[in-house]
Amino acid sequence: MYASSGNHHGAGRPAIWMKAPPGNQEIMVRAKPERFFVPPYVGPSGWIGVHLDGDIDWTELDMLLRDSYRLTAPKRLAAQVEDP
């Protein structure tokens, strides 16, 4: 995961980048392009960017972060992450 205050690759907008499950990146960006984006460098590997300004759905962001961690963490650690 990568968080940005917006001064570096964020076009002035705070954002977080995270790994997304296969196929989700395109769906998310098409559904809400004002909120989701394909980040540079890691976007071709399926990562998704989420702008953190405006009205944030914290429950959704929590779910996305948990999914991302499960996709990137070692299996033993990923298995310890519980859904709320």
pLDDT at position 71, please?
92
pLDDT at position 49, please?
94
**3-class DSSP assignment, residue 78:** helix
pLDDT tens for 6-49 read 655 546 789 999 999 999 999 999 999 999 999 988 999 999 99
pLDDT at position 12, please?
79
Per-residue pLDDT at 70 exceeds 90 = yes
Per-residue pLDDT at 67 exceeds 80 = yes
Give the predicted TM-score (pTM) of the model. Answer: 0.83
Contact 22, 47 (CB under 8 A): no
Domain parsing of the chain, residue ranges: 2-78
Q: What is the CA radius of gyration of the chain?
A: 13
